[in-house]
Amino acid sequence: MRLSRGTSNGIKASPQRRVEIQNVIDQLNKQNKVKKLTSNSLIDGSWELLYTTNEGSSAGKIGPFVGKVEQNVQLSAGVYTNVVKLPGFSACLTATWDNLSDTKWRVLFQRISFSVLGFKIAENSLEAVGIWRMTYLDDDLRILTAAGNTISKKELKENYYVLARRP
């Protein structure tokens, strides 16, 4: 958590900081005690993105700005939302998933909406899919990798995501 501060969700992390964070991610992954990561009740709830190796909108980047990213997982409903918040602007992504194994979800992105000053200005359906591989979970922290692209493209790039539970 300390290493991610000041990195704008990882976008502004120096190469040295990226290596330091990756070393911590690797150490935590080796210590994971949760076996059924994709169905464990610990995953349920609200999470804040601390760091990612993704440098696009999944990192909260909207144009030249980087916002706060919050994720709300509703395990029993099989749905989650990602919200990027910037002053006066927000984007909300909704997705469902298929549970592929104890560590993998096939995420089906459903729609995205944009709001300005609390008023929805646009909403679009999505046709994209991603594979999330959960690697670490405890009461306060989640680590996963996500690989995704549009359904029609075959090449997937995997990125790390580190999220902290929101109070």
Looking at residue 149, what is its pLDDT? 53
Tens of pLDDT along 12-48?
999 999 999 999 999 999 999 999 999 999 999 999 9
**80 and 95 in contact (C-beta within 8 Å)?**
yes
Q: For all residues of the chain together, what is the average pLDDT? A: 92
Share of the chain above pLDDT 90, in %: 84
- Burial (CB count within 10 angstroms: exposed 0-12, middle 13-18, buried 19+), residue 49: buried
* DSSP, res 38: T
**41 and 75 in contact (C-beta within 8 Å)?**
yes
Q: Does the structure show a pLDDT above 70 at 152?
A: no
Share of the chain above pLDDT 70, in %: 95
Which spans in the chain are helix H? Answer: 15-31
For the chain, domains (ranges, CATH) are 15-165 (2.40.128)
